[in-house]
Homo-oligomer: A and B are copies of this chain.
Amino acid sequence: MINDGYLIVSGSRIEEVGKTPFAGDRSEFTATVNLKANVLLPGLVNTHGHAAMTLLRGYADDLPLSEWLEARIWPIEDLMTAEDIKWGTWLAIWEMIASGTTTFTDMYFHEDQVAQAVEDSGMRAVLSRGMIGFAPKGEQTAMESRDFVQRWNGAAGGRITTLLGPHAAYTCPPEYLREIVVPLAQELNVPLQIHLCETRYEVEQSIAQYGVTPVQHLVNCGVFAVPTLAAHCVHVSDHDIDLLKANGVRIAHNPQSNLKLGSGIAPLSKLRSAGLTIGLGTDGAASNNDLDMWEEIRLAATLHKGTAEDPVLVSACEALELGTAGGAQALFLEQGLGTLVPGAPADFIVVDYHKPYYYPRHDVTAHLVYSAKSADVIDVVVDGRQLMRNGEYLTLDVEQIVYETNRCASRLFGS
């Protein structure tokens, strides 16, 4: 983090970082961000989500989980076209850029639309077509996943990487995971992401059906032979955590979604103590209801102190690391992303440090983690390219996004 120094970018990379004001010749640089005593820090990394679910934001709140999913979310998703996914994703990208997220991951459908919006907006993303294992979707989603990976892995100058996205153990039967998903991931040489132990019910069902926890079940299916990012891990036993660690599984912790859906609270401290690689995520906007990584960072730093009644758990510094470098590692992105070091991709943001809750100037990390608001982000740079400059969007058209998402919503919801 820099609030009295400089950063030199060369192409898409950070070339030099100075902790004192820059003394050289500025004329050789094509772009400069004047910090004016603001704070520059790595862009935030969102390690779990379904971008186009922004269209369902606020459509189904405060409902029992089964009613939420079966009576509200799924029927609408069945109606969603490529056009809906396109504009729902642009709405998400607008919100993410506005709030300082520079990298996100996605697992959804019509995923080409998501990739195209990422390419056009200048964001960095790790994308997957969600795979449902039951016939007839199993074969279809596997085929689409293969096409998607082949078309998009490494695209947009490397800003887009891809994964396979088997949705969950309860939507992908063992033979599907073993015979389709794992061999395909190995053939394409990509990792995979999966929902895991999100609810107590999921664990109980797994034990009823397979006699083991979902984590052990995925071990038994050979899933972890492929590098894996597991979202949620709310209801994991100590033995599950040992298995996750032994298999190098990476974790996306989504505290706000887990609270709001009544899923529970993941044992972040235990997962951290086990030495797992962990990032933070918002989940989709139907279950959050926003894509505000500052709220996830704040919750990571406060929630576990409260549940354990231990005020020293998960320091501000650790929480910020989970939301930046930790997230980049969880998404299998190259070493250095999410930090400000020479050679790292130039993904960074500037926070307006002149709000009331940033005074007095005691501790910049504490101020960011415990007080920062998403609206304070004024500059966003991804891969060396500026996407927002002093609050102005350089790669997206807000009025068009509002117009088109309202149009999509009117058709989907008949409002």
Does A307 belong to the interface (CB within 8 Å)?
yes
**Closest residue on chain B to residue A317 by CB atoms:** B62
B58 and A363 contact, CB distance less than 8 A: yes
A401-415 vs B: 1/0 string, CB under 8 Å? 110011011000101
- Mark each residue of chain A from 345 to 376: 1 if its CB lies under 8 Å from any CB of chain B, else 0: 00000000011110111110011001101111
Contact, CB under 8 Å: A91 / B356? yes
Q: How far is the CA of A64 from the CA of B311 in the complex (A)?
A: 6
Secondary structure of the A contact surface, majority rule: helix
- In the complex the two chains form, is A58's CB within 8 Å of B200's CB? no
Flag whether A260 is at the interface (Cβ < 8 A): yes
Total copies of this chain within the assembly? 2
Asked, given contacts A262-B306, A311-B65, A311-B68, whether A98 binds B356 with beta carbons under 8 Å apart, the answer is: yes
Contact between B316 and A61, CB atoms less than 8 A apart = yes
- Which one, A110-118, A184-192, A224-232, A282-290, is touching chain B? A282-290
What's the minimum C-beta distance from A308 to chain B, rounded to whole angstroms? 7
A175: Cβ under 8 A from any B Cβ: no
Cross-chain contact A313 with B262 (CB below 8 angstroms): yes
Residues on A lying within 8 angstroms of B by beta carbon are 54-59, 61-65, 68, 91, 94-95, 98, 199-200, 256, 258-265, 285, 288-292, 295, 298, 301-303, 305-313, 315-316, 354-357, 359-363, 366-367, 370-371, 373-376, 401-402, 405-406, 408-409, 413, 415
